[in-house]
Each structure stands twice: as C-alpha cells, then as structure tokens.
C-alpha cells in the first residue's frame, strides 16, 4: 500500500523533494492558483501553517494552471505573488497538472485515496460550480478528478490520506480535522 512518502516532486526552486522527508508530519496538500476566486485561501492556509507548524503541520502548495488558466505565471512569479500578497512561507512546488494523462503521480495517488467530497452547500459559489460541472458532465460528482483550484488533502503522520476538502471548504473550517491529526 503506497503512502505519501513514496513520492517526489520538484520544489519551485527546481530541487527534488522526497516526501519521505516529511515522515511524522501532518501534511495539507493543496493545488493552488494566483488568479482564482479562491486565491484568498492562501491567507487562511498560511494562518494554519503558522499556528500549527511547530506541532508538525506542513502545508504544501502545488500551483496548477488546469482550471480557467488561473495560474499562468512561472514558478518564480508564483512564489513572488504568494509571498508579497499573502505572506506565504509554506513550501511551494513547481507548477504541475493534477488531472489527465500528464497529472503528477502524487495527485493520481491522492485522487485514488479520496474521491470528490462534495461542495459545501453553504458556500456562495457552490451553485455556480455545480451548474458548470453538471453541464459538462452530469456524472461529475462520482468521479475523483480534481474539480477546481484549492482542493485540499489532509495526510496523517503515517502518510495516509485522511480526508479531502473541496475548494468551497475554507481553511479555517479544516482546523478541527487538523488538530485531531496533530493530537495523534
């Protein structure tokens, strides 16, 4: 049975990151974009990272340009945007694809471990997203593909996917789940 520790990815500086280096940490892996309606979630993700990093939380951003061309920049431009506009200090990886034949292996694994969790019915964008996806594929909710930017995966200290949070789940709404994993 694979674990997150079986994967590597390039950092936004072009260095290979071995996820085995995160053994014993709780990870929050997120596909990100700088020009998205959900981009303000960078602030909440950074707040979670600052609050819990000393307890073992690592937030890891994977920029992705597959949704509405909302991450057109280079790795350097993305990092600068995140740092200047949202104070991001958590690790950012090199831009990847999360769906399709060129999807990064870590995302193929993440999707195989936790399928689509459903949009938050109370979020103001849920109706719009549901209509948009239903038109393209009436069966979209049964497929594990990443639906949009800022889909989040919580990984246990043992390297297993605990749960998946869709873009309509705000970072602060994940706090109890994160605390539960950190307490283990």
Told to judge if 36 belongs to the known catalytic residues of this protein, a careful annotator would answer: yes
The residue from 36, 64, 82, 163 that is catalytic is 36
Antiparallel, parallel or unpaired: β 26-32 and 57-63: parallel
Vertex 81: Cα angle to 78 and 83 (nearest 5): 105
Q: What is the dihedral of CA 104, 182, 165, 76, to 10 degrees?
A: -50
Query: How distant, in Å, are the alpha carbons of 5, 17, 87, 171 from that of 49?
Result: 20, 19, 11, 10
**Alpha helices per DSSP H over the chain:** 41-52, 75-86, 105-113, 126-136, 175-182
Distance CA 60, CA 43 (A): 14
- Which residue numbers are catalytic? 36
């Amino acid at each position: 049975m694979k674990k997150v520790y079986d994967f590597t990815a390039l950092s936004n500086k072009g260095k290979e990151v071995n996820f085995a280096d995160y053994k014993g940490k709780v990870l929050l892996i997120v596909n990100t974009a700088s020009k998205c309606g959900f981009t303000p979630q960078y602030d909440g993700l950074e707040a979670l990272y600052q609050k819990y990093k000393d307890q073992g939380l690592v937030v890891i951003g994977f920029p992705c340009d597959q949704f509405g061309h909302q991450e057109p920049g280079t790795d350097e431009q993305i990092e600068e945007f995140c740092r200047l506009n949202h104070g991001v200090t958590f690790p950012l990886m090199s831009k990847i694809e999360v769906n399709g034949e060129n999807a990064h292996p870590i995302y193929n694994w993440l999707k195989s471990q936790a399928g689509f969790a459903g949009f938050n019915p109370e979020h103001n964008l849920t109706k719009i997203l549901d209509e948009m996806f239903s038109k393209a594929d009436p069966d979209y909710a049964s497929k594990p593909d990443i639906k949009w930017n800022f889909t989040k995966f919580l990984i246990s200290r043992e390297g297993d996917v605990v749960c998946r949070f869709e873009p309509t789940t705000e970072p602060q709404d994940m706090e109890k789940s994160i605390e539960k994993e950190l307490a283990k």
